[in-house]
Structure 1
Amino acid sequence: MKIFLLITVSFTITFAVSLKLLITNQETKINSLNEIITIIDLKTDKIKNNFTYDLRPQNLRKINENEFNLMPILHKDIIKKKELFSDE
């Protein structure tokens, strides 16, 4: 009976310790993944902010002047659909 009790107690202690180590290991992995997610979120926020800044009208004008030199379409240059298909 003493041997059975000794085996049961040792098994219970071993099981409890191994379970505690397993839980600690999983918590460490979860914390590591949470840190990675936080870093990725910060990077995406920076990209969104930069994109928003780049699309401001003043910046778009500068980009147009420096790179493309496009001219706006004037209202008198717009061809109406009726005029386009009136010959048919």
Structure 2
Amino acid sequence: MLQDVSIVQQIGVAALAVATVAWAVGLVRVMRRERPDVETWRQAQGLQSLQGLRALPGQQGPPRAEAVELTADERAAFAGLVRQFGKRHS
């Protein structure tokens, strides 16, 4: 059966097999490295909240461009809108 397959095709299949094995080994190593230790995992599953992803920084609050102080009149108008929309959905 391998007599009908050229040596280039056999080398290609072997190279793909080696690349697949290397990818799988690398993936397993990365997944094991990212896995929290058992004690941290138990704490996260218990009473403590889950920690965020280590690759992403935690959000410290709204960006400065989005942080706006409202005046008393604006807060009252917003409260009126909230009440108005709340009545529609009740």
TM norm. shorter chain > 0.5 = no
Larger gyration radius, structure 1 or structure 2 = 1
TM range (shorter): 0.3 to 0.5
TM-score (norm 1): 0.39
Structure with greater proportional helix content: 1
TM-score normalised by length of structure 2: 0.39
